[in-house]
């Protein structure tokens, strides 16, 4: 006499473990793709003045000597925004949060551009 019910349970368990392992691999693969290095770079009058990896949580003040101004840049859990600035209009603060490669925060009065670079997007290659 064979003990069929036990064997069936073993097969189901093995199949379940295989599926679980497969799903773990799949999720791991997707997360790996998202971890392409992204950088947050600050440009003052076209010159790169600072850069930070997007996964560092910082709050820093970028000074713009020519305009005697300052912008407070925040990177918080891969969200990038300007928390405060002393420019007229506060457009850069109102621009809100950027998270993706190629997105920019621009402070026109201070000639300051905060841009997320790297990852899959190669935006620079397109511009002529
Ligand atoms: Zn501004």
pLDDT digits (tens, 9 = 90+) for 25-78: 877 766 555 557 899 999 999 999 999 999 999 999 999 988 899 999 999 999
Give the start-to-end residue ranges of the domains of the chain.
1-35, 38-119
Q: How far is the CA of 103 from the centre of ligand 1 (A)?
A: 16
Question: What is the number of other CB atoms lying within 10 angstroms of the CB of residue 91?
Answer: 15
> What is the CATH topology of the domain spanning 38-119?
mini-chromosome maintenance (MCM) complex, domain 2 (2.60.320)
- Pick the closest to residue 71 from 100, 81, 45 (CA basis): 81
Residues 79-92: tens digit of each pLDDT: 999 999 999 999 99
More confident residue, 111 or 18: 111
117 C-alpha to ligand 1 centroid (Å): 20
Q: What's the pTM?
A: 0.67
From ligand 1's centre to the CA of 56, what distance in Å? Answer: 23
What element of type H or E holds 4? helix 4-34
Phi, psi of 81 (to 5 degrees): -155, 165
Say how many Å lie between the CA of residue 69 and the centre of ligand 1.
9
Residue 127: pLDDT over 50: no
CA 90 / ligand 1 centre spacing (Å): 5
């Amino acid at each position: 006499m064979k003990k069929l019910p036990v064997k069936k349970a073993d097969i189901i368990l093995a199949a379940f473990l295989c599926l679980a392992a497969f799903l773990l691999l799949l999720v791991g693969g997707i997360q790996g793709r998202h971890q392409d290095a992204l950088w947050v770079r600050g440009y003052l009058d076209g010159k790169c003045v600072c850069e930070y990896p997007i996964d560092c949580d910082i709050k820093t003040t970028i000074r713009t000597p020519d305009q005697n101004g300052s912008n407070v840049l925040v990177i918080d859990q891969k969200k990038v925004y300007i928390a405060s600035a002393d420019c007229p209009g506060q457009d850069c603060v109102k621009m809100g949060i950027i998270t993706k490669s190629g997105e920019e925060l621009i402070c026109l009065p201070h000639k300051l551009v905060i841009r997320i670079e790297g990852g899959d997007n190669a935006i620079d290659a397109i511009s002529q």
